[in-house]
Amino acid sequence: MDAPKHILVATDFGDTSRRAQELGLVLAQALGARLTLLHVFTVPNSAYATGNYFQVGDMEDDARAMLERTAAELRARCPGLLAAFRVGDPWQQIVAAAQELGADLVVVGTHGRRGLPRMLLGSVAERVLRLSPVPVLTVGCPPAA
């Protein structure tokens, strides 16, 4: 396998995503690879299930702004970094983006959920790992002290 030339890092802006961003950045710098930061916006299920209707447009605007802030911070260390924003099911959009953008490595954080929480919430990282057409590197949380 050749060294990656284009690394796609998926982010939800959480702790494991920040770790994935850092690893993706370090790898891109070390390998001379392009780096794309991807955020997939999803309307929260609770917006409909509880009858509470969030201002989805405002939430999407906030997510776009967060992506741009995060990308700007990372561009200070990786000037060629690109940012991509998609709407939909995260695992599907990550896999599709990897194909469409020509990424040859996906880096994604994993929360390490087990049991009922994993069954109820699913695992984006697991689905990406199973269905991605390119290698996937998962980054977890450090063990609790």
Which residue segments constitute the domains of the chain, with CATH numbers given? Answer: 32-88 (no CATH), 89-145 (3.40.50.620)
Query: φ and ψ at 87, to 5 degrees?
Result: -120, 135
CA distance 12 to 39: 6
Greatest Cα pair distance in the chain: 50
pLDDT at 39 over 60: yes
Q: Which residues contact 119 (CB under 8 A, 6 or more apart)?
A: none
Q: What DSSP designation does 141 have? A: P
Q: Which residues contact 92 (CB under 8 A, 6 or more apart)?
A: none
Angle subtended at Cα 98 by Cα 94 and Cα 99, rounded to the nearest 5 degrees: 120
Residue pLDDT, tens place only, 103-117: 999 999 987 655 544
31: tokens are 């390998």
Q: Taking Cα atoms as reference points, which of 95, 79, 103 lies closest to residue 40?
A: 95
User: Looking at the DSSP assignment, which residues form a beta bridge with residue 37?
Assistant: 9, 83
Summary mean pLDDT of the chain: 87
Question: For the whole model, what pTM was predicted?
Answer: 0.86
Residue pLDDT, tens place only, 54-66: 677 788 999 999 9
CA distance 121 to 108: 17
pLDDT at 141: 75
Q: Taking Cα atoms as reference points, which of 84, 79, 65 lies closest to residue 9?
A: 84
